[in-house]
Amino acid sequence: MATVEQITKDLTAAMKSKDALRTGVLRMAKAALMNREIDKQAPLDDAESAKVLQTLVKQREDSAEQFRKGGRPELADKEQAELAILKTYLPREAGEAEIAAAVEKAVAETGAASLKDMGRVMKVALAALSGQSVDGKKVNEAVKKRLGG
């Protein structure tokens, strides 16, 4: 089942069970997906849907961090709750070992020798990890570590 269809189905269930938080998060996610479909003028595949949802997750993570810094733990907790709901619709997250293996393979493919080659290595490593949920910061850190940064 496509991500948009699954979210629509779960949204209906959340509305019937009067789960306000889940209903709000799923409405927001569905709206973001529909807006992306309108921009593209074609239905989204699962990879594109995952990218949109990953953006929403990143926004929630950043917001939660800012709220904690600003001394607003109740708002940070709300963002964390939304984050947990959104993550259930993302593909499995790549582990440290998978990221390290992808970086190692990317270094071998590109012949990278220093941090000057970081952009090429990042591009190849992220392409190798496509289809999984990947945090670009983790890949960036792994590339820096591997290239001696």
* pLDDT of res. 82: 94
Question: Which domains, ranges and CATH numbers included, belong to the chain?
Answer: 3-87 (1.10.1510.10), 96-146 (1.10.10)
Q: State the average pLDDT for the chain.
A: 87
What do you get for the CA distance between the two ends of the chain, in Å? 43
Q: Which residues contact 30 (CB under 8 A, 6 or more apart)?
A: 4, 7, 8, 11
Compute the average pLDDT of residues 16-31. Answer: 95
Compute the average pLDDT of residues 42-58. Answer: 87
Confidence of residue 149 (pLDDT cuts 50, 70, 90): low
Following CA atoms 138, 144, 145, 147 in sequence, which dihedral angle do they give, to the nearest 10 degrees?
140
